[in-house]
Structures are given as structure tokens and as C-alpha cells.
Chains A and B, each alone.
Chain A
Amino acid sequence: MPRGRPRQSQNGTRATQDDDDGPLSQSLSQSQSQTQRRSQRRLSPVEEERLAARVVRYVLAAHGRGEPLRREKVRRLALEPQHGGYVNQVLQAADVKLRDVFGMSLEVLPNKRDLLLVNQLPVVENAPPLLAESELQKHGLLVAILALIFMSGDAGVDEDTLWRFLSKLGVHKDHKHECFGNVRKLVTEEFCRAGYLRKEEEVVKGVTVLRFFWGDAASVGVDAVDLLKFVCTIWGDEVEPEQWQEQYERALQLQEAREQREQARQQQ
């Protein structure tokens, strides 16, 4: 799923140069001189290129297996210990490479902890499926869930509503689905771990139930306007996104936020 479906290009967030969470920066008295020294010293272009390529290879490998991309893990696995302080320089260089070669950007999620690959290529009519059949179906399931949550507004969706909705689509939480396997695990664990969904526990009449919201990865990686179009195709031709006034406005706001981030990135 993390493999981005092609869609309208958007934006990217960028970690700032001195946002380093290494042990040194925790001590304020030391951090100033450290930061100064670090920002003056940059990796040589050759070193930057070599390490960026390493990060790209790692990111692609992890992405291909549908694993969440953690900034810390990139630092640990793809960079040598002595380069820990340059993680942002290297991530930026990797982002440039990824855009150039794959048409994908490397986004830092608002929590600063997770990274996400986002497709930047324009949607192509009749493009070949870029996902394996099972991934494609998983993506469809995720989109359906995100759409349901989106249409429900800020309150999210409780577990019961979610499963009732999915059962109408022929997906049942306790059945072993031929493509999704254990559906409950996929939705409540895998999608949440990948950051597409966020779950919260709440107690209703003494029973703990889950409530689902859009995760950070969905906010950055899924285009809400596209999603509304998807909902419209399900509901039929006669409906236009504008008819869901409230949702449509929220979708446009999300899109605008993206565009602003992209502009900020380009001005850097």
C-alpha cells in the first residue's frame, strides 16, 4: 500500500537543517556550538552522493515490503555512525534523487519521526497497475476506509460502524479473506502501523472499543479531493464532489496545505 498510486502531484515537507535529535542536541549548553559547527561543516558532494544512494536503496527496500519508514531507522541502518549529524542533508539529497529517478518524493511526516514515499507523477489514463494485484486490492480497501472516515467528519469512526460498512463490501472482520488474509489484523494493526490509520481506544458502557481516524501518512500521502471523486464514482454519476459542501471544503484545505508546503520546499 505504501507504494503510491499515481495521482495528482503535490507537495513535500522538509526537515529543517538543524533539527537533529542526536544525544548532543539534548544538552542546550552544548547544542549551540555543536549546531554551529555542524551547519558550517557539510558533507562533501561525493560523500553526500554516496550516502544519499545508500539511503535511497534502503528506503526502497523497506518501502517494497510495506514497512513503515522511520527516520531513526534510516539513520541507524543506512548511515555510518559518524554521519549521524548529517542525516537531514542526506535525506534531502535522497529526496532529490528519488524525485529525479522515480518521480517520488521522500516526505517527513508532521511527527518528524516517520518518512513516507509519495508519488509525484501525474495520473495517467489507462496506466498499467503499479501494484501487485493483492496490493491493489489492499489499496482499494484502505481508500474505502479513509473515505468512510472522511465522510464522517472529525469524530472518526467507531469499530462497529467500520465493520458494518466493510461487510457491505463483502469484507468481514472474522473471515479469512483470500486476498487480505486476516482482515482485522490488516485494518487494526498493519494500516495503523504504516500510519494510514490512527486508532484510539474508548470505553463505551464498560466495553473498550476502537475508534479510527486518518493517520499522518494518509494526510500527507492521500489526496482528499481524489478520495471524494472516488466516493462520487461509488455513489453514481449524478453526484459531484461539491455536493458534499463540508467535506469538499476540508479537502480543498488539505490540498492547499500541501501546495504551501511544496512552495516552501521550492523556496528553500
Chain B
Amino acid sequence: MEVDCTVDVYGDWHRHFMQAMLSQPAISADGLKKLVGDISGNTIRDLDQIKTFLLTVRSKVHSLGLDLKKGLSERDGRPVYALINTSGGEETVACAAFSEVQLRYLRALIQEVVTSVRGDISAMAALNLADGMPKADAQELLRRLVRDCWLEETDSRLALHTRAILELEPYLLRHYGEHVPRCQMCGKITVRGRLCEQDGCGAKNHHHCLGKMRDKMGVVKCQKCNSLMTDED
């Protein structure tokens, strides 16, 4: 690797990194650390250097309407990094070069997932949403959406992938604001989370954020209405 590469001046390390990010829709924190290490011949190892490296990347890609963002998975709370389009949902959806029919299907899927109580739908329900396309095509498209980290599948249930939530946040807020309230603990929008059972409260918090509270305080309390929440099973 070139000797004159540095952490905070955009150069070939950063370009290699960006190419690598293009070939994976999302990457774990460990994966990211390893990638940056590999690319720099293990020159960039400690956390501060990685942070500087990422800042350099982020300020470079902003002018392209792109960003490298970190989100916590709504499934398990683990950090996920993804290169996303920040130009605001609508274009993202359109830019994905789906056909009109596929686009309509994708929008319907997002709507169904986001407005569902648990923030996920069964694979069967997802298939049944297909309108104007053969089941086999819908199945193929669903596979693609999972592969490209629009959706994630757990036990035959489909939810929005962390990458998709990061990218679609403006779109989700615009169209489904009341279904994706901000989590009281982390401040991020919540698609999959736990609804407060108290009448008229309407707070929704991430499972992993509530879990952290339980670990720290021994109980889980709604931050909005102060009512105690029973343990989830």
C-alpha cells in the first residue's frame, strides 16, 4: 500500500474502503474494524484512528448526497454501519431501479411492516401483498430485498433492516410519522419496539434500549408516563 496514505487526508485507503462498502450493503462494527485494518496494512487499529478515518470519509461523501451511518439493530441492538443515500427516501426508492410494479410492491411492503404492531410481517403475508406480479417474481424480489438489506428475515418473519431504516428515515417520518415515534432512550425512530400498555401513552421503545435500562436499574419504566412495564417474555 502507498506509504504516503494518512488517516485524515482522503486518499487510496479511503477509496479502497469506499469500494468495499459498495459491495456490502451493511457491515458490523467488528467487520468495519477489520476492513479498515486490512486496507491500511494494519496501520489503522485504534478506535480514535478509526473514528478519524470515518470522519474523513463522511465529509468527503456528503457532497454526493451519501453518508456512512451507524445504527443499532432493532433486532439485537448491535451496531451496523452502512453507506446510505441521504437525498431523502423517495429518490432512494426510485433510484433502486425497480419497475413500476416492483416499486408499488416495495412501498406496500414498507407500509405493512411499519404499521404492523410488532414491526414485522410473516413471509406469507408479504407474498400475499404482491399485486400484478406472479408469486414466483414476488418471491425472487423478496430474496433480493433481503440480500440488499432492505428487509431482514428472522424465523420466517420480515422486518426492515437497520440499513433501510437509516436510509428511509425521512420517508418513514413523512408517511408514517405516528407509527415510528422516537425511542425515549436513544432518540432514534422505532419501527420494531415495545409499545407502552398504558392507555393514551403511545410511547414505543426499542427492545434493546429497554433491556439496557433493566440491566442498569433492575426495572423497566416508561420514560413518558412513568408506568412500570412488566418483563417481556
Asked if A124 is an interface residue, CB under 8 A from chain B, the answer is yes
- Over the window 32-60 of chain B, the binary record of Cβ atoms lying under 8 Å from chain A Cβ atoms (1 yes, 0 no) is 00110011000000000000000000001
Q: Contact between B23 and A53 (Cβ–Cβ < 8 Å)?
A: no
Q: Contact between B85 and A57 (Cβ–Cβ < 8 Å)?
A: yes
Provide the residues of chain B in CB contact with A121, threshold 8 Å.
12, 15-16, 19
Which of B91-105 touch A at CB < 8 Å? 91, 94-97
Asked if A234 is an interface residue, CB under 8 A from chain B, the answer is no
Asked if A179 is an interface residue, CB under 8 A from chain B, the answer is no
When C-beta atoms are compared, the residue in chain B nearest to A128 turns out to be B38
Q: Contact between A77 and B95 (Cβ–Cβ < 8 Å)?
A: yes
Q: How far is the CA of A64 from the CA of B63 in the complex (A)?
A: 20
Given contacts A57-B87, A103-B16, A127-B39, contact A67 B97 (CB under 8 A): yes
Asked if A180 is an interface residue, CB under 8 A from chain B, the answer is no
Q: Contact between A62 and B19 (Cβ–Cβ < 8 Å)?
A: no
Asked if B64 is an interface residue, CB under 8 A from chain A, the answer is yes
Q: Contact between A53 and B64 (Cβ–Cβ < 8 Å)?
A: yes
- Interchain CB contact (< 8 A) of A101 among B24, B38, B64: B64
Provide the residues of chain B in CB contact with A102, threshold 8 Å.
15, 18-19, 22
Given contacts A65-B148, A103-B19, contact A49 B85 (CB under 8 A): no
- Over the window 1-20 of chain A, the binary record of Cβ atoms lying under 8 Å from chain B Cβ atoms (1 yes, 0 no) is 00110100000000000000
Task: Report the minimal beta-carbon distance from B140 to chain A, rounded to whole angstroms.
Answer: 11
Q: Contact between A64 and B23 (Cβ–Cβ < 8 Å)?
A: yes
Provide the residues of chain B in CB contact with A67, threshold 8 Å.
97
Task: Report the minimal beta-carbon distance from B219 to chain A, rounded to whole angstroms.
Answer: 43
Provide the residues of chain B in CB contact with A122, threshold 8 Å.
2, 12
Q: How far is the CA of A65 from the CA of B144 in the complex (A)?
A: 9
Q: How far is the CA of A135 from the CA of B147 in the complex (A)?
A: 12
Which of B138-180 touch A at CB < 8 Å? 144, 148
Task: Report the minimal beta-carbon distance from B187 to chain A, rounded to whole angstroms.
Answer: 27
Q: Contact between A61 and B64 (Cβ–Cβ < 8 Å)?
A: no
Asked if A58 is an interface residue, CB under 8 A from chain B, the answer is yes
Tally of contact residues, B, Cβ under 8 A: 31
Q: Contact between B15 and A103 (Cβ–Cβ < 8 Å)?
A: yes
Asked if B117 is an interface residue, CB under 8 A from chain A, the answer is no
Asked if A28 is an interface residue, CB under 8 A from chain B, the answer is no
Give the secondary structure class of B's interface.
Answer: helix
Q: Contact between A130 and B19 (Cβ–Cβ < 8 Å)?
A: yes
Asked if B228 is an interface residue, CB under 8 A from chain A, the answer is no
Asked if A229 is an interface residue, CB under 8 A from chain B, the answer is no
Provide the residues of chain A in CB contact with B22, threshold 8 Å.
3, 60, 63-64, 102
Task: Report the minimal beta-carbon distance from A132 to chain B, rounded to whole angstroms.
Answer: 6
Q: Contact between A57 and B95 (Cβ–Cβ < 8 Å)?
A: yes
Asked if A56 is an interface residue, CB under 8 A from chain B, the answer is yes
Q: How far is the CA of A97 from the CA of B94 in the complex (A)?
A: 22
Which of B61-77 touch A at CB < 8 Å? 61, 63-66
Given contacts A53-B64, A57-B65, contact A119 B23 (CB under 8 A): no
Asked if A193 is an interface residue, CB under 8 A from chain B, the answer is no
Asked if B1 is an interface residue, CB under 8 A from chain A, the answer is yes
Q: Contact between A62 and B23 (Cβ–Cβ < 8 Å)?
A: no
Task: Report the minimal beta-carbon distance from A20 to chain B, rounded to whole angstroms.
Answer: 23
Asked if A261 is an interface residue, CB under 8 A from chain B, the answer is no
Provide the residues of chain A in CB contact with B18, threshold 8 Å.
101-103
Provide the residues of chain A in CB contact with B34, threshold 8 Å.
128
Task: Report the minimal beta-carbon distance from A138 to chain B, rounded to whole angstroms.
Answer: 12
Q: How far is the CA of A225 from the CA of B23 in the complex (A)?
A: 25
Asked if B20 is an interface residue, CB under 8 A from chain A, the answer is yes
Which of A39-63 touch B at CB < 8 Å? 49, 53-54, 56-58, 60-63
Provide the residues of chain A in CB contact with B95, threshold 8 Å.
57-58, 61, 77-78
Q: How far is the CA of A132 from the CA of B144 in the complex (A)?
A: 14
Asked if A104 is an interface residue, CB under 8 A from chain B, the answer is yes
Task: Report the minimal beta-carbon distance from A7 to chain B, rounded to whole angstroms.
Answer: 12
Q: Contact between A101 and B16 (Cβ–Cβ < 8 Å)?
A: no
Other A-B contacts than A56-B64, A126-B38, A128-B35, 14 sampled, CB-CB below 8 A, are: A3-B19, A6-B19, A49-B63, A57-B65, A61-B95, A64-B22, A97-B64, A101-B60, A102-B22, A103-B15, A119-B19, A122-B12, A130-B16, A131-B23
List 7 A-B residue pairs with CB atoms under 8 Å apart, sorted by A's residue number: A3-B23, A57-B65, A58-B97, A64-B23, A65-B144, A121-B19, A128-B34
